Each structure stands twice: as structure tokens, then as C-alpha cells.
């Protein structure tokens, strides 16, 4: 468990386990809780200002989602994803994101077109300003989430949420590449153009190619090793 505060206090009320889960998941996905960090239920409960029982339930949900794992004699820790596991996740994710883009193209309306365009314009501002990796991750997640929302298939959304959650552990390594934000933005634009043209096949293909290219860039970045002064990557090579 990190010495600094990794999670925020919870206001209380009902559904404490759900609130604790969302807070812990957010801390993992924003790298406030890093791969390998211990998930001490007493310490987390103290930071959140709630009892241990809902925190224990939240940690078990993280393990179920693949965002944490149980280590003998140590307890729950934030998961570390190896390169081969990430590769396999991205192969599956490419197919699913292609399907999401296809379905979204069939259901796209003027309101959602405007929302997607607004996200792209905001991401362009983020890239131009050279903002930190966390902002790029937020923009990437928001863009794909909106496409899934338009696709309106709860089974597909649930499957992609689980896959992206695990794959997300690798994103802090991916965005270390200086070209990654610009390339992702260009690929998001290709998906948008295909969707707004009404071409479902092109939308499917553009989304798949985007995820395939993310997978390739991630492998290249991890293979290059950490930057000087950096800690170990959240993605480790297979022994």
C-alpha cells in the first residue's frame, strides 16, 4: 500500500461497497494505485472513512475483474499484466471494438455525432497543449465509451468494459511514446469519418485497425524499456 493517500474519503450513505469499488477502480486506472501495490483492507478503509466490510467486497470485485490478484502470504495486490496477456487482450478487443463501431454507425444521430466531434476537438487541444498521459488516457477511454453507448448493446459493453479494464493497466506504458497521442487522435478521426459516412464495414475496419496499432505500439514501447529515471513498467515481459 502506498504511503501517500491513494483513495479519497467516501461520503457515506447506501451502496458503500459499490462506492468503494468505483473509488478503488479509479485509483487503479489512474495509476494512483500502481501494479504490485498491496490492497490492504484496513488501510483503504481508513482512507475512505468506512468500515472494512464494503472495502473487502470491493477488493474481491477488483480481483474478479482482473485488476487485482491474490498473492499467497501477502494478500490482494494491484495486477501486473504481462506482454503476452496484453497482446491476447488486444486481439479480442480489436474484434469487439470493430463490432461496437459497426453497431454505432447504424444508430448514429446528429446529437451523438456532435458529442463525438466535441471529444475529438478536446483531444486535439490536449495533444496540442502537450498535456500529461493521464489526460490522453481519459480522452481515449471517453471516446470508446461513447461509441459503445451509441452501439447500445449491453452485453458487448459489459465484455468490453472488462477487457479494457485489464488492458488499461498497460496504458501508462503506451502513452510514454511521444507519438502515441497524435497517432491515436488520427485513428480516432478515421473511425469518426467512417461512422459519419454511414459505411459500417469501414467503421468496423477503422476501429479494428486502431486497436491493432495500439497493440503494436505498446509492444514496441515495452520492448524499448523504461525511460531513464522511470520505475518499472506496468507491463512486464513474459519470463
Where is 64: in which H helix or E strand? Answer: helix 52-65
Last residue of a domain, one of 55, 79, 103: 79
Where is 2: in which H helix or E strand? Answer: none
Last residue of a domain, one of 27, 55, 79: 79
Show the domain range for 25.
16-79
Answer yes or no: do 107 and 137 share one domain: yes
Confirm if 6 and 46 have CB atoms less than 8 A apart: no
Q: Is residue 5 part of a domain?
A: no
Last residue of a domain, one of 60, 79, 98: 79
| CATH code where residue 68 lies | 1.10.10.10
Look at residues 67, 69, 53 and name the one whose alpha carbon lies nearest to residue 24: 67
Q: Tell me the C-alpha distance between 29 and 89, whole Å.
A: 16
Helices 133-151 and 154-168 pack at an angle, to 10 degrees, of 160
Q: Is residue 121 part of a domain?
A: yes
The number of folded domains in the chain is: 2
pLDDT of residue 229: 43
Q: Is residue 74 part of a domain?
A: yes
pLDDT of residue 13: 73
Tens digits of pLDDT across the chain (239 residues): 554 678 999 887 778 999 999 999 888 877 789 888 999 999 999 999 999 999 999 999 999 888 899 999 889 999 887 778 888 889 999 999 999 999 999 999 999 999 999 999 999 999 999 877 778 878 888 999 999 999 999 999 999 988 877 777 766 655 566 788 889 999 999 999 999 999 999 999 999 999 999 888 877 776 665 544 444 444 433 32
Q: Tell me the C-alpha distance between 236 and 239, whole Å.
A: 9
Answer yes or no: do 55 and 128 share one domain: no
Distances (CA, A) of 238 to 45, 84, 87, 117, 219: 34, 7, 11, 39, 12
pLDDT of residue 14: 75
Answer yes or no: do 192 and 128 share one domain: yes
Amino acid at each position: 500500500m502506498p504511503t501517500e493517500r491513494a483513495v479519497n474519503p467516501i461520503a457515506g450513505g447506501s451502496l458503500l461497497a459499490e462506492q468503494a469499488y468505483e473509488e478503488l477502480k479509479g485509483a487503479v486506472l489512474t495509476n494512483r494505485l500502481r501494479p504490485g501495490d498491496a490492497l490492504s483492507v484496513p488501510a483503504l478503509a481508513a482512507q475512505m472513512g468506512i468500515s472494512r466490510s464494503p472495502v473487502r467486497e470491493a477488493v474481491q470485485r477488483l480481483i474478479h475483474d482482473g485488476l487485482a490478484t491474490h498473492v499467497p502470504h501477502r494478500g490482494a495486490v494491484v495486477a501486473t499484466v504481462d506482454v503476452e496477456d496484453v497482446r491476447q487482450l488486444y486481439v479480442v478487443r480489436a474484434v469487439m471494438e470493430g463490432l461496437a463501431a459497426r453497431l454505432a454507425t447504424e444508430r448514429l444521430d446528429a446529437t451523438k455525432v456532435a458529442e463525438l466531434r466535441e471529444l475529438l476537438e478536446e483531444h486535439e487541444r490536449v495533444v496540442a497543449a502537450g498535456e500529461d498521459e493521464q489526460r490522453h488516457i481519459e480522452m481515449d477511454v471517453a471516446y470508446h465509451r461513447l461509441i459503445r453507448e451509441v452501439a447500445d448493446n449491453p452485453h458487448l459493453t459489459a465484455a468490453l468494459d472488462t477487457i479494457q479494464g485489464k488492458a488499461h493497466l498497460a496504458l501508462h506504458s503506451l502513452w510514454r511514446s511521444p507519438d502515441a497521442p497524435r497517432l491515436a487522435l488520427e485513428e480516432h478521426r478515421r473511425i469518426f469519418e467512417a461512422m459519419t459516412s454511414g459505411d459500417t464495414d469501414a467503421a468496423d475496419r477503422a476501429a479494428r485497425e486502431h486497436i491493432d496499432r495500439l497493440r503494436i505500439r505498446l509492444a514496441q514501447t515495452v520492448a524499448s524499456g523504461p525511460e531513464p529515471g522511470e520505475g518499472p513498467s506496468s507491463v512486464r515481459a513474459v519470463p
